[in-house]
């Protein structure tokens, strides 16, 4: 931990403490407006614009810029919502309603909770994806969520503590994580995985028509444990409301011998997430270097 991490971490936590003094709606709205205004000054804005131009070559520069600004607002709101996760999730299992939260697929959650076998739920960085494991826990689905901690250790500790309070078990995506996930599935547990980030030396496929690399972890775990796979996502609605959707289990592609086809399954996940992003492009993190290929992949494309 260096002095730079300390200064940045403490400054961020100071802002968080200040926001906590205000009602959730006011703080979240302010964070969204702030990020929309100042996000375009960050270097990652250029990455987002480039990615958007490749994904939507038919759109004008004004349309591309508008989506990027929506993205920054989504990011600002997401950052503030970490503070209020417990307050935001107001879905009542008994009445099947909430002022902020809609759950589409409650029966699927309850079915998973009642089955004595392992399951995998996957999602992408869309809307407030952090609310999905909160919903699962509230509906009786014990899920261990794989997550990538922030590089700053002070911010990472804060986020980890906030997540643990509402989401159940968390597992950092570090060396050995695959073995830990395997042990969970062996015990009949459930895991949640984000699948829309670049994975160095991963499975080659396409996303928005461009070559990319995707983690083979989920397809390999499914191939080994023959567990059901469910797509889930969050859609941000007006007035700080959210729709959480879990879909029916996917029918996964198989090889001629009947085993799960790892490459085809990774591509299917890309296509599912792409469909979600096309529905709400301003709610996805376009500043990810999703299409940056590893050295080995670039050699294979020549």
DSSP calls for 86-150:
HHH---BTTTTB-SSEEEETHHHHHHHHH-SS-EEEEE-SBSSTTHHHHHHHHTT--EEEEE---
b vs e for 78-93, b when ≥16 Cβ sit within 10 Å of the residue's Cβ? bbbbbbbbeebbebee
Question: Phi and psi at residue 40, in whole multiples of 5°?
Answer: -60, -10
Domains of the chain (ranges plus CATH)?
A: 3-301 (3.40.1130)
Cα separation, 5 vs 302, whole angstroms: 40
Tokens of 172: 């950092």
Query: 192: number of CA atoms within 13 Å, CB side?
Result: 28
Q: Is this model's pTM higher than 0.75 or not?
A: yes
Tokens of 104: 């589409």
Cα separation, 278 vs 275, whole angstroms: 5
Cα separation, 161 vs 140, whole angstroms: 21
How confident is the model at residue 242, as a pLDDT? 96
Asked if residues 103 and 212 have their Cβ atoms less than 8 Å apart, the reply is no
Nearest to 271 by CA among 246, 297, 253: 253
For residue 17, pLDDT over 80 is answered with no
User: Is 248 or 85 the better-scoring residue by pLDDT?
Assistant: 248
Minimum mean pLDDT among 40-49, 63-72, 129-138: which range? Answer: 129-138
Round the average pLDDT of the chain to a whole number and report it.
87
Nearest to 218 by CA among 169, 287, 267: 267
Minimum mean pLDDT among 4-18, 92-106, 169-183, 201-215: which range? Answer: 4-18
Encode pLDDT of 247-278 as tens digits.
999 999 999 999 999 999 999 999 999 999 99
């Amino acid at each position: 931990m260096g002095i730079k991490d300390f200064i940045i971490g403490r400054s961020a936590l100071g802002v968080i403490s200040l926001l906590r003094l205000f009602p959730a709606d006011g703080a979240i709205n302010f964070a969204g407006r702030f990020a929309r205004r100042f996000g375009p000054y960050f270097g990652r804005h250029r990455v987002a614009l480039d990615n958007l131009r490749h994904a939507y070559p038919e759109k004008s520069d004004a349309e591309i810029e508008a989506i990027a600004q929506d993205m920054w607002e989504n990011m600002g709101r997401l950052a503030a919502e970490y503070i209020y996760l417990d307050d935001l999730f107001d879905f009542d299992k008994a009445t099947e309603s909430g002022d902020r939260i809609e759950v589409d697929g409650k029966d699927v959650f309850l079915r998973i909770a009642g089955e004595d076998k392992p399951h995998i739920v996957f999602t992408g960085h869309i809307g407030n994806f952090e609310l999905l494991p909160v919903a699962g826990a509230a509906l009786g689905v014990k899920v261990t969520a794989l997550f990538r901690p922030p590089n700053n250790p002070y911010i990472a500790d804060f986020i980890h503590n906030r997540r643990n309070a509402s989401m159940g078990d968390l597992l950092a995506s570090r060396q050995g994580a695959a073995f830990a996930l395997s042990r969970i599935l062996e015990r009949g547990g459930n895991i949640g995985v984000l699948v829309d980030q670049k994975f160095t030396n991963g499975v080659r496929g396409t996303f928005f028509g461009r070559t990319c690399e995707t983690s083979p972890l989920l397809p390999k775990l499914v191939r080994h444990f023959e567990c059901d796979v469910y797509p889930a996502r969050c859609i941000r609605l007006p007035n700080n409301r959210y729709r959480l959707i879990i879909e029916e289990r996917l029918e996964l592609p198989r090889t001629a011998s009947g085993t799960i086809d790892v490459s085809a399954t990774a591509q299917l996940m890309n296509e599912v997430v792409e469909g979600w992003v096309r529905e709400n492009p301003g709610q996805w993190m376009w500043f990810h270097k999703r299409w940056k290929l590893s050295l080995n992949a670039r050699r294979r494309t020549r």
